[in-house]
């Protein structure tokens, strides 16, 4: 279970960083950002998060604001999964994916 949570947290991190990267790349040339190959690649990585954010957000949220909603959901999800991972690992430190928690407790 702990290893699954580490993988999930890493996926949330990658999607969030790709949205942040899209913003940074887009700031350099906002008018033609959709033509930039790096912007497009980061968009491919972030597209599942954006689609999920569109599903859970109400229709009054504009399409231009959905990436911001997705980034917020990814940040909140990252921390929620992180706290749940901590609780799971502190329950059983011998699980795969709990090596850092075991080292912090001095058990390794």
Q: Cα dihedral angle (52, 26, 38, 79), rounded to 10 degrees?
A: -40
Residues 89 and 37 sit within 8 Å (Cβ to Cβ) = no
At 96 the pLDDT is 87
Domain spans of the chain, in order of start: 2-104
Distance CA 107, CA 22 (A): 41
Residues with Cβ within 8 Å of residue 38, at least 6 apart in sequence: 21, 25
Q: What digits encode the pLDDT tens for the residues 50-102?
A: 999 999 999 999 999 999 999 999 999 999 999 999 999 988 888 888 888 88
Distance CA 81, CA 85 (A): 6
E strand or H helix at 29: none
At 108 the pLDDT is 60
């Amino acid at each position: 279970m702990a290893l699954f949570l580490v993988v999930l947290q890493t996926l949330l991190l990658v999607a969030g960083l790709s949205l942040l990267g899209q913003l940074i790349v887009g700031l350099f040339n906002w008018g033609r950002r959709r033509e930039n190959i790096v912007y497009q690649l980061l968009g491919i990585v972030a597209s599942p998060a954006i689609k999920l954010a569109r599903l859970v957000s109400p229709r009054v949220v504009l399409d231009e604001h959905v990436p911001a909603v997705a980034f917020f959901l990814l940040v909140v999800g990252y921390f929620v999964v992180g706290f749940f991972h901590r609780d799971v690992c502190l329950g059983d430190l011998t699980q795969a994916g709990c090596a850092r928690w075991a080292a912090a407790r001095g058990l390794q």
